[in-house]
Chain A
Amino acid sequence: MDWHQLWEIVSAPDNVPIVALLFFVPFYAWYGFRQARENDRLIGQLEADPQLAKTHHRKIFPWKPGWTKEVHTWPYLMRIEFLAAIIVTVLLIVWSLTLNAPLEELANPNLTMNPAKAPWYFLGLQEMLVYFDPWIAGVVMPSLIIVGLMVIPYIDVNPLGAGYYTWKQRKFSIATFAFGFIVLWLVMVVIGTFIRGPGWMWFWPGQTWDPSKVVFEPNRDLPDIFHITSMLGKGIFGAVAMGIYTMAAWYGIHKLITATPFNRKIYARMSFIQYITMQTFLVLMLLLPIKILIRHLFRIKYIWITPWFNV
Chain B
Amino acid sequence: MARAGSAGKAGESMADEPSTNGEKKGLAALVEEAREDAKVLKEKAKEEVETLKQPQKTQLYKSIFRVKHDDSERSRALGVLSNVFFHLHPAKINRDAVRYAYTWGMGGITFYLFLVLTLTGVLLMFYYHPTKGQAYRDIIYLMNDVPFGRLLRNMHRWAAHLMVIAVWLHMFRVFLTGSYKKPREFNWCVGVVLLVLTLLLSFTGYLLPDDQLGFWAVTVGTNMANATPILGAGGPFGMQLGLTNYNDVRFALLGGSIVDANALLRAYIWHCLAIPIIASVLMGLHFWRVRKDGGISGPAPVMLESEIKPERKI
**Interfacial residues, chain A to chain B (CB-CB below 8 A):** 14, 16-17, 20-21, 24-25, 28-29, 31-32, 35-36, 39, 42-43, 46-47, 53, 57-61, 67-78, 80-81, 84-85, 88-89, 92-93, 95-97, 99-109, 111-113, 116-122, 125-126, 133-135, 137-140, 146, 149-150, 152-154, 156-157, 159-166, 169-170, 174, 177, 181, 262, 265, 269, 308-309
Do the beta carbons of A152 and B108 come within 8 Å of each other? no
- Flag the segment in B22-30, B182-190, B267-275 that touches A: B182-190
- Flag the segment in B31-39, B45-53, B303-311 that touches A: B303-311
What's the minimum C-beta distance from A243 to chain B, rounded to whole angstroms?
A: 19
Residues of B within 8 A of A126 (CB): 220
Do the beta carbons of A139 and B154 come within 8 Å of each other? no
Residues of A within 8 A of B108 (CB): 81, 84
Do the beta carbons of A139 and B225 come within 8 Å of each other? yes
B window 287-304: CB within 8 A of A: 297-304
Do the beta carbons of B211 and A107 come within 8 Å of each other? yes
CA separation between A24 and B305, bound complex, in Å?
33
Do the beta carbons of A135 and B211 come within 8 Å of each other? no
Residues of B within 8 A of A108 (CB): 212, 215
Do the beta carbons of B300 and A97 come within 8 Å of each other? no
Q: Which residue on B lies nearest to A181, using beta carbons?
A: B172
Do the beta carbons of B304 and A53 come within 8 Å of each other? yes
A153-B188 contact in complex given A76-B98, A88-B109, A101-B154, C-beta closer than 8 Å: yes
Do the beta carbons of B169 and A28 come within 8 Å of each other? yes
What's the minimum C-beta distance from A186 to chain B, rounded to whole angstroms?
A: 8
Residues of B within 8 A of A24 (CB): 165, 169
Q: How large is the interface on B (under 10, 10 to 19, 20 to 34, 35 or more residues)?
A: 35 or more
Residues of B within 8 A of A31 (CB): 101, 104
Residues of A within 8 A of B105 (CB): 80-81, 84
Given contacts A53-B304, A139-B228, 9 further A-B contacts (CB under 8 A): A20-B165, A70-B93, A72-B73, A73-B80, A74-B76, A80-B98, A103-B143, A112-B216, A139-B235
Do the beta carbons of A101 and B304 come within 8 Å of each other? no
Q: Which residue on B lies nearest to A75, using beta carbons?
A: B76
Q: Which residue on B lies nearest to A106, using beta carbons?
A: B136
Do the beta carbons of A164 and B89 come within 8 Å of each other? no
- Flag the segment in B1-9, B10-18, B58-66, B202-210 that touches A: B202-210
Q: Which 8 A-B pairs have the closest CB atoms?
A: A138-B224, A163-B300, A163-B298, A58-B301, A153-B185, A96-B154, A107-B215, A134-B227
B247 CB–A CB distance under 8 Å = no
B162 CB–A CB distance under 8 Å = yes
Do the beta carbons of B94 and A69 come within 8 Å of each other? yes
B245 CB–A CB distance under 8 Å = no
How many A-B residue pairs lie within 8 Å, measured between CB atoms?
296
**Interfacial residues, chain B to chain A (CB-CB below 8 A):** 73, 76-77, 79-80, 86, 89-101, 104-105, 108-109, 112-113, 116, 136, 139-140, 143, 150-151, 153-159, 161-162, 164-165, 168-169, 172-173, 175-182, 184-185, 188-189, 192, 195-196, 199, 202-203, 206, 209-217, 219-221, 223-229, 232, 234-237, 240, 258-260, 297-306, 308-309, 311
Do the beta carbons of B215 and A174 come within 8 Å of each other? no
Specify which of A109, A137, A265 lies most central, judged by the most chain B CB atoms within 10 Å of its CB. Answer: A109
What's the minimum C-beta distance from A228 to chain B, rounded to whole angstroms?
A: 21
Do the beta carbons of A121 and B299 come within 8 Å of each other? no
Do the beta carbons of A107 and B210 come within 8 Å of each other? yes
Q: Is the interface of A mostly helix, strand, loop or mixed?
A: helix
Residues of A within 8 A of B101 (CB): 31, 35
Specify which of A47, A84, A126 lies most central, judged by the most chain B CB atoms within 10 Å of its CB. Answer: A84
Residues of A within 8 A of B76 (CB): 72, 74-75
What's the minimum C-beta distance from B270 to chain A, rounded to whole angstroms?
A: 15
Do the beta carbons of A61 and B99 come within 8 Å of each other? yes
Do the beta carbons of B158 and A122 come within 8 Å of each other? no
Do the beta carbons of B109 and A150 come within 8 Å of each other? no
CA separation between A69 and B93, bound complex, in Å?
8
What's the minimum C-beta distance from A154 to chain B, rounded to whole angstroms?
A: 6
Picked from A106, A150, A181, A309, the residue with its CB within 8 Å of the CB of B236 is A309
CA separation between A159 and B303, bound complex, in Å?
9
Do the beta carbons of B212 and A101 come within 8 Å of each other? no
Residues of B within 8 A of A103 (CB): 139-140, 143, 209, 211, 213
What's the minimum C-beta distance from A185 to chain B, rounded to whole angstroms?
A: 8
What's the minimum C-beta distance from A122 to chain B, rounded to whole angstroms?
A: 7
Q: Which residue on B lies nearest to A134, using beta carbons?
A: B227
CA separation between A161 and B164, bound complex, in Å?
27
A101-B169 contact in complex given A61-B99, A106-B210, A106-B211, C-beta closer than 8 Å: no
A61-B96 contact in complex given A116-B220, A126-B220, A149-B192, C-beta closer than 8 Å: yes
Do the beta carbons of A134 and B192 come within 8 Å of each other? no
Q: Which residue on A lies nearest to B186, using beta carbons?
A: A153
CA separation between A9 and B212, bound complex, in Å?
17
CA separation between A157 and B211, bound complex, in Å?
49
Do the beta carbons of B184 and A113 come within 8 Å of each other? no
